[in-house]
């Protein structure tokens, strides 16, 4: 898997963090770049750390599942992407946005960072089956999430929640397509 694919996975995984960042930006009267930096650090670090944890778990059990690893990668990526698509069309768009969002509660931010990065844990498991360089992948995913989270705060503050659903749909679709590509490559149907 190349750097561009890892970057696209990072974009897909960061859409939940982006959506929450948009909500945080909505609650700010003016963009507080200090708060935006803290929000981005929380989301970026957790989004980069979770694939490493998933990779460690997957590596432990990889010897038992190598014959079906491409199916597992496909199912995990498709499930995460599918859930993102489902949520985009079935959740209320402003459900994460609350009054007082410009106050920075580190405990709440910690919980949000964990919640938005659980899908990265599943992706990390699939990375272990695909023999991905986890350090490079985690760095790319973390930096991508960091940057998109800052952008999310600014976009939320300036433009409102108009782009939240679109971002979630794109992120979910990207994950499903990459999972399908992995499956088709391992089955020998396509070659890149």
DSSP-derived secondary structure for 98-147? -TTTTS--HHHHHHHHHHHHHHHHHHHHHHHHTT--HHHHHHHHHHHHHH
Residues of the chain with pLDDT under 70: 62-63, 65-66, 69, 91-103, 160-164, 192
Rounded to two decimals, the pTM is 0.72
Alpha-carbon span 163 to 180, nearest angstrom:
26
Q: Does some domain include residue 12? A: yes
Question: What is the pLDDT at residue 44?
Answer: 97
Helices marked H in the chain: 3-13, 15-26, 33-65, 69-90, 106-129, 134-159, 164-186
Q: Does some domain include residue 63? A: yes
Question: What is the pLDDT at residue 67?
Answer: 72
Give per-residue pLDDT as tens, 26-76: 777 788 899 999 999 999 999 999 999 999 988 887 667 667 767 877 887
Q: Does some domain include residue 191? A: no
Question: What is the pLDDT at residue 101?
Answer: 46
Q: Does some domain include residue 147? A: yes
Q: Does some domain include residue 192? A: no
Q: Does some domain include residue 189? A: no
Q: Does some domain include residue 91? A: yes
Q: Are 11 and 171 in contact (CB under 8 A)?
A: yes
**What residues make up the domain containing 122?**
3-95+103-184
What SS3 class is residue 163?
helix
The total domain count for the chain is 1
Q: Does some domain include residue 116? A: yes
């Amino acid at each position: 898997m190349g750097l561009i694919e890892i970057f696209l996975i990072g974009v897909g995984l960061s859409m939940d963090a982006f959506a929450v960042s948009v909500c945080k930006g909505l609650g700010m009267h003016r963009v507080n770049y200090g708060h935006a930096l803290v929000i981005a650090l929380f989301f970026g670090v957790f989004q980069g750390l979770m694939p490493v944890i998933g990779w460690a778990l997957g590596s432990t059990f990889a010897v038992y599942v190598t014959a079906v690893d491409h199916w597992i990668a496909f199912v995990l990526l498709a499930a995460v992407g599918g859930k993102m698509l489902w949520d985009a069309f079935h959740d209320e768009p402003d459900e994460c946005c609350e009054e007082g969002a410009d106050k920075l509660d580190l405990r709440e931010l910690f919980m949000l960072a964990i919640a938005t990065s659980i899908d990265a844990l599943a992706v990390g498991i699939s990375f272990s089956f695909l023999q991905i360089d986890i350090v490079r992948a985690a760095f790319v995913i973390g930096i991508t999430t960091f940057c998109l989270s800052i952008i999310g705060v600014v976009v939320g503050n300036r433009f409102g929640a108009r782009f939240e659903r679109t971002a979630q749909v794109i992120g979910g679709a990207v994950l499903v397509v990459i999972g399908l590509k992995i499956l088709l490559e391992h089955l020998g149907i396509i070659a890149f």
